[in-house]
């Protein structure tokens, strides 16, 4: 339901127009594209986590149909490296070659490129390339790096202690801690997980030597950044590269990166003058797409007996992986920035330490640093409540930023735009019947039931609307945060909307068309949405960080406003009245009894027979919208679990989400985003983890057989509701909703499990809360009793 009195939200959402295509199997994904004379690429990948390459023998790999096999030494020296745009101060960057030269540093690292006439031959040939390794000591996970357990193993010999960087800040006034009655220490481990879009990555590159035109089709979140990277790395004119993004089957951050595979496929297409196609397998997606999270957080918490959270001293150990992808070093800085959560915390000291390990690169994954922050803050507030013997609801209420305090500047330096945290909490509590569950919990505890009930609360705030470019500058991120739009009204009155942000399943087509209908009064059937082509759209940052509505949507909105103004200027001349006297509603201008629609004006502006002096013909506007601030969605989720102490199994009995993402542009889409996000959060909380063998570093989770993604039967019914505090920082009043579900879900589930097992003396459990782990905790509790 659209919020009342918003004026900018539609109360009658339409079905998603793209679903007609998707649900009938008529979507066109990368692997559906076919070109004549296509050759196929396969990669020889490292089977080792860390090894010196002693020998590479390609002799047996020249199967019939193989066009070429290329090693690092075969690449031209002018070829650049994988671009990295976040040089955090003090960063030790080991570089990121396109193919491993002497050493491989993570399982799946590309060693050689095989090109063949068909996909299977390329793959079979890649298997026939024999690589002889000399194994080196491995840093198999973050804990080994942090505890220097790896026996002196160095991922990059020139980088001491595998430390990529140390970033420290002290926020607020340390004297606030003097009022603390007590403090405690807690280590929280947030495991490495895989984004796992339904459609893996892929790229097709085609080179036209005559025109010197490099055409690329990619399953990507940001075609323009891919084009820019190709231009820089390949040394090819950016104007002669065309990137097209077809339908994308999910991305979750994994496709907002330019990978070695992408650069190599494009490079060889040009060098060999061939059309090349690469679509990764699921195992390759597990191995070589960026992973997410992977932090160890050491927290000291200062609080008063009455449940006031006064300060935190936090060290965030963050796993970079073996090399840096585009934004790898910066993601944990987002965690640092969001450490105040929904609360008034007077003092926060934070140290972020990045480490190299013999693992795949980390980078943004749905939430990008904010889930880690929310997890920390929401686990901490829960622990404070428990230590003070107080209700976690009231402790939250006590510490919340109040409704009247917005815009609220928190100690980490951010200014939250708007919110009503207490209202969301109360609404979620009422909706989930917490009183009932508390009494059920008491009853089960009294009778020593093997199935214990737990209630988990998670109040979150996060930032979206990435981003004010100045905020990038502050964090050392070498990108801008704006977004572009072109709105073109054709002579017939039909409209083309061109947006720099392109969908990977979210429903941009529907929402953009709806937005234009609302602004210009043009029926959606007359509106065509164009995204995902670098030749057809102005520069676009891409779709990530729940930014499309707040930034891309605002750009469209402003372009529409410019066209309305142009129409008004023209009418001022035509009707000989003052601009203020001309109203505009639902696509129609009026002044007194005179009425004319914007669509009727369009042909006149193209004929240009009677334009006022100095007015350009046509009816088209291009806007680059630079946001002046982040937006801050918030809300409270409540999760009810039942944990079987005998088997350690957790069942989620109920999940309620109350979210405030500002005005809703399309309710079902927002709801879908929330639910999908929650499911990914539940997955990480209960099941998911990328694991490498502690001794050899071998990747143990490279298929769905060994990596448990939540299945339909694992997903509880999820009830959603919302409230709306419109964002004052953009004219649509929207905030963003793509990641909040995931951000809120981790602590909601874990808090519930800890609550259930508190009868066994359990105070904390790290994700994923597997049955075995929970059973062991119950056993230990049982013994100490």
Partner 1 sequence: MNAFQYAAPGCLQDALRLLAAYPDAVLLAGGQVVINEMHRAERAPSPLIDLGRIDELKEIIETSDRVWIGAGVTHTQLAGHPAVKNWLPALVQAAQAVGDLQVRNRATVGGTIAYGDSCGDYWPVWYAVGGFVQLISSTGVRQVEIRDWLAGRCSTALRPQEIVRGIILNKRNRSYFCKHQVSAGETVTLSLAQGGETARLAVGGLTELPLSIELPPPVDEGWERRWKETAATRIDAAADPRATRYRKHLARQSAHWLIDKHAAGGVP
The site for partner 1 (CB under 8 A) is made up of: 118, 120-121, 123-124, 127, 281, 646-648, 687, 701, 704-708, 770-772, 775-776
Q: Which is nearer to partner 1, 39 or 460 (CB)?
A: 39
In the complex, what is the shortest distance from the CB of residue 127 to partner 1, in angstroms, rounded to a whole number?
7
Q: What's the Cα-to-Cα distance from 780 to each of 445, 632, 757, rounded to whole Å? A: 18, 41, 11
In the complex, what is the shortest distance from the CB of residue 699 to partner 1, in angstroms, rounded to a whole number?
14
DSSP-derived letter for residue 710 is: P
520 in helix, strand or coil?
Answer: helix
In the complex, what is the shortest distance from the CB of residue 705 to partner 1, in angstroms, rounded to a whole number?
4
CA angle 544/292/675 to nearest 5° reads 60
Q: Which is nearer to partner 1, 461 or 686 (CB)?
A: 686
Residue with the two structure tokens 């190599």: 264
Q: Which is nearer to partner 1, 43 or 557 (CB)?
A: 43
In the complex, what is the shortest distance from the CB of residue 64 to partner 1, in angstroms, rounded to a whole number?
11
Q: Which residues pair with 241 in a beta bridge?
A: 214
Close Cβ partners of 713 (under 8 Å, ≥ 6 residues apart): none
Q: How many Cα atoms are found within 13 Å in the side-chain-facing hemisphere of 428? A: 33
Instruction: Render 227-289 in DSSP notation, one character per residue.
Output: HHHHHHHHT--GGGEEEE--B----TTTTSS--HHHHHHHHHHHHHT-EEEEE--HHHHHHHS
Q: Which is nearer to partner 1, 11 or 120 (CB)?
A: 120
CA atoms of 385 and 379, how far apart (whole Å): 10
Q: Which is nearer to partner 1, 273 or 706 (CB)?
A: 706
Q: Which is nearer to partner 1, 638 or 774 (CB)?
A: 774
Q: Which is nearer to partner 1, 387 or 708 (CB)?
A: 708
Under 8 Å between Cβ of 605 and 617: yes
Q: Which is nearer to partner 1, 172 or 200 (CB)?
A: 200
Q: Which is nearer to partner 1, 75 or 129 (CB)?
A: 129
In the complex, what is the shortest distance from the CB of residue 453 to partner 1, in angstroms, rounded to a whole number?
21
Nearest to 624 by CA among 486, 519, 531: 486
Under 8 Å between Cβ of 460 and 746: no
Q: Which is nearer to partner 1, 105 or 291 (CB)?
A: 291
Beta strand segments in 117-269, E: 130-135, 163-172, 182-193, 202-208, 213-218, 241-244
In the complex, what is the shortest distance from the CB of residue 149 to partner 1, in angstroms, rounded to a whole number?
22
DSSP-derived letter for residue 711 is: P
CA atoms of 413 and 407, how far apart (whole Å): 12
Q: Which residues pair with 347 in a beta bridge?
A: 172, 311
Q: What's the Cα-to-Cα distance from 585 to each of 524, 528, 582, 604, 621, rounded to whole Å? A: 17, 22, 10, 20, 20
CA atoms of 71 and 75, how far apart (whole Å): 7
Q: How far is CA 460 from the centre of its chain?
A: 16
CA atoms of 196 and 199, how far apart (whole Å): 8
Nearest to 278 by CA among 29, 31, 534: 31
Q: Which is nearer to partner 1, 361 or 707 (CB)?
A: 707
Q: Which is nearer to partner 1, 254 or 683 (CB)?
A: 683
Q: How many Cα atoms are found within 13 Å in the side-chain-facing hemisphere of 135? A: 11
In the complex, what is the shortest distance from the CB of residue 688 to partner 1, in angstroms, rounded to a whole number?
9
Q: Which is nearer to partner 1, 47 or 770 (CB)?
A: 770
In the complex, what is the shortest distance from the CB of residue 111 to partner 1, in angstroms, rounded to a whole number?
18
In the complex, what is the shortest distance from the CB of residue 690 to partner 1, in angstroms, rounded to a whole number?
12
The continuous run of DSSP H or E covering 657 comes out as strand 650-660
619: number of Cβ within 10 Å:
25
Q: Which is nearer to partner 1, 35 or 704 (CB)?
A: 704
In the complex, what is the shortest distance from the CB of residue 192 to partner 1, in angstroms, rounded to a whole number?
15
Q: Which is nearer to partner 1, 99 or 122 (CB)?
A: 122
C-alpha distance across the termini of the chain, in Å: 51
In the complex, what is the shortest distance from the CB of residue 710 to partner 1, in angstroms, rounded to a whole number?
11
Measured in degrees and rounded to the nearest 5, phi and psi for residue 22 equal: -65, -45
**Contacts from 593-597 at CB under 8 Å and sequence distance 24+?**
596/571, 597/493, 597/521
Q: How far is CA 493 from the centre of its chain?
A: 37
Q: Which is nearer to partner 1, 281 or 470 (CB)?
A: 281
In the complex, what is the shortest distance from the CB of residue 53 to partner 1, in angstroms, rounded to a whole number?
23
In the complex, what is the shortest distance from the CB of residue 452 to partner 1, in angstroms, rounded to a whole number?
17
In the complex, what is the shortest distance from the CB of residue 775 to partner 1, in angstroms, rounded to a whole number?
6
In the complex, what is the shortest distance from the CB of residue 27 to partner 1, in angstroms, rounded to a whole number?
21
Exposure class string for 632-652: b at 16+ Cβ within 10 A, else e: bbbbbbbbbbbbbbeebebeb
Q: Beta strand pairing status for 241-244 and 213-218?
A: parallel
The continuous run of DSSP H or E covering 350 comes out as strand 347-356
In the complex, what is the shortest distance from the CB of residue 63 to partner 1, in angstroms, rounded to a whole number?
10
Q: Which is nearer to partner 1, 126 or 214 (CB)?
A: 126
| Helix axis angle, 370-388 to 392-399, nearest 10° | 120
In the complex, what is the shortest distance from the CB of residue 124 to partner 1, in angstroms, rounded to a whole number?
5
Q: Which is nearer to partner 1, 550 or 777 (CB)?
A: 777
DSSP-derived letter for residue 290 is: P
Under 8 Å between Cβ of 736 and 464: yes
Nearest to 86 by CA among 518, 473, 542, 576: 473
In the complex, what is the shortest distance from the CB of residue 123 to partner 1, in angstroms, rounded to a whole number?
5
The token duo for 296 is 């160890």
């Amino acid at each position: 339901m659209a919020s009342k009195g918003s004026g900018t939200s539609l109360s009658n959402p339409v079905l998603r127009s793209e679903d007609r295509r998707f649900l009938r199997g008529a979507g066109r994904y990368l692997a559906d594209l076919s070109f004549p004379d296509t050759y196929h690429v396969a990669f020889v990948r490292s089977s080792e986590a860390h090894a010196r390459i002693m020998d590479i023998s390609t002799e047996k790999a020249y199967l019939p149909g193989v066009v070429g096999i290329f090693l690092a030494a075969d690449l031209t020296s002018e070829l650049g490296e994988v671009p990295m745009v976040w040089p955090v101060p003090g960063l030790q960057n080991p570089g990121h070659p396109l193919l491993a030269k002497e050493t491989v540093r993570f399982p799946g690292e590309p060693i050689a490129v095989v090109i063949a006439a068909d996909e299977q031959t390329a793959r079979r040939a890649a298997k026939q390339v024999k690589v002889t390794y000399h194994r080196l000591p491995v840093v198999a996970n973050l804990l080994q790096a942090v505890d220097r357990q790896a026996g002196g193993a160095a991922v990059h010999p020139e980088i001491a202690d595998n430390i990529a960087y140390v970033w420290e800040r002290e926020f607020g006034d340390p004297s606030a801690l003097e009022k603390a009655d007590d403090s405690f220490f807690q280590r929280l481990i947030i495991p490495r997980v895989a984004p796992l879009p339904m459609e893996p990555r892929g790229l097709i590159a085609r080179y036209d030597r005559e025109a010197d035109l490099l055409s690329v089709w990619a399953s990507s979140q940001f075609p323009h950044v891919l084009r820019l990277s190709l231009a820089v790395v390949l040394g090819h004119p950016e104007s002669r590269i065309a990137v097209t993004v077809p339908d994308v089957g999910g991305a979750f951050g994994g496709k907002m990166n330019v990978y070695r595979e992408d650069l190599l496929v494009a490079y060889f297409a040009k060098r060999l003058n061939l059309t090349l196609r690469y679509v990764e397998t699921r195992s390759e997606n597990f191995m070589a797409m960026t992973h997410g999270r992977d932090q160890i957080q050491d927290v000291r918490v200062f609080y008063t007996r009455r449940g006031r959270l006064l300060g935190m001293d936090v060290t965030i150990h963050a796993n970079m992986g073996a090399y840096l992808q585009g934004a790898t070093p910066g993601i944990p800085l987002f965690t640092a920035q969001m450490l105040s959560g929904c609360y008034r915390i007077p003092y926060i000291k934070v140290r972020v330490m990045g480490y190299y390990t013999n693992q795949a690169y980390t980078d943004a994954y749905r939430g990008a640093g904010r889930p880690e922050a929310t997890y920390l803050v929401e686990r901490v507030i829960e622990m404070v409540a428990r230590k003070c013997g107080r209700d976690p609801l009231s402790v939250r209420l006590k510490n919340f930023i109040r409704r009247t305090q917005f815009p609220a500047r928190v100690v980490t330096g951010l200014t939250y735009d708007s919110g009503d945290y207490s209202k969301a909490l109360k609404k979620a509590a009422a909706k989930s019947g917490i009183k009932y569950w508390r009494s059920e919990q008491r009853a089960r505890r009294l009778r020593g039931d093997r199935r214990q009930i737990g209630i988990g609360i998670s109040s979150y705030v996060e930032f979206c609307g990435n981003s004010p470019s100045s905020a990038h500058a502050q964090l050392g991120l070498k990108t801008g945060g704006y977004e572009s739009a072109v709105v073109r009204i054709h002579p017939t009155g039909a409209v083309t909307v061109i947006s720099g942000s392109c969908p990977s399943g979210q429903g941009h087509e529907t929402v953009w068309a709806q937005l234009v209908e609302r602004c210009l009064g043009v029926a959606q059937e007359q509106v065509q949405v164009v995204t995902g082509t670098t030749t057809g759209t102005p520069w676009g940052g891409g779709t990530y960080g729940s930014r499309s509505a707040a930034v891309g949507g605002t750009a469209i909105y402003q372009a529409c406003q410019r066209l309305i103004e142009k129409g008004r200027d023209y009418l001022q001349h035509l009707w000989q009245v003052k601009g203020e006297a001309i109203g505009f509603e639902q696509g129609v201008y009026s002044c007194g009894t005179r009425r004319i629609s914007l669509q009727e004006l369009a042909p006149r502006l193209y004929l240009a027979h009677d334009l006022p002096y100095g007015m350009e013909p046509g009816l088209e506007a291009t806007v680059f919208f630079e946001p002046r601030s982040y937006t801050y969605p918030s809300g409270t989720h409540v999760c009810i679990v039942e944990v079987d102490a005998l088997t350690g199994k957790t069942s989620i009995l109920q999940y309620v989400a109350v979210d405030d993402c500002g005005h809703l542009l399309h309710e079902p889409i927002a709801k879908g985003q929330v639910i999908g996000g929650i499911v990914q959060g539940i997955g990480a909380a209960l099941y998911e983890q990328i694991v490498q063998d502690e001794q050899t570093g071998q990747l143990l989770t490279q298929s769905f057989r060994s990596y448990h993604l939540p299945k339909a039967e694992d997903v509880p019914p999820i009830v959603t509701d919302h409230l709306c505090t419109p964002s004052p920082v953009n004219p649509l009043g929207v905030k963003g909703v793509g990641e909040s579900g995931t951000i809120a879900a981790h602590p909601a589930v874990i808090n519930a499990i800890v609550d259930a097992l508190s009868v066994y003396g359990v105070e904390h459990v790290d994700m994923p809360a597997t049955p075995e782990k929970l059973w062991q905790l119950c056993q230990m509790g049982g013994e100490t009793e």
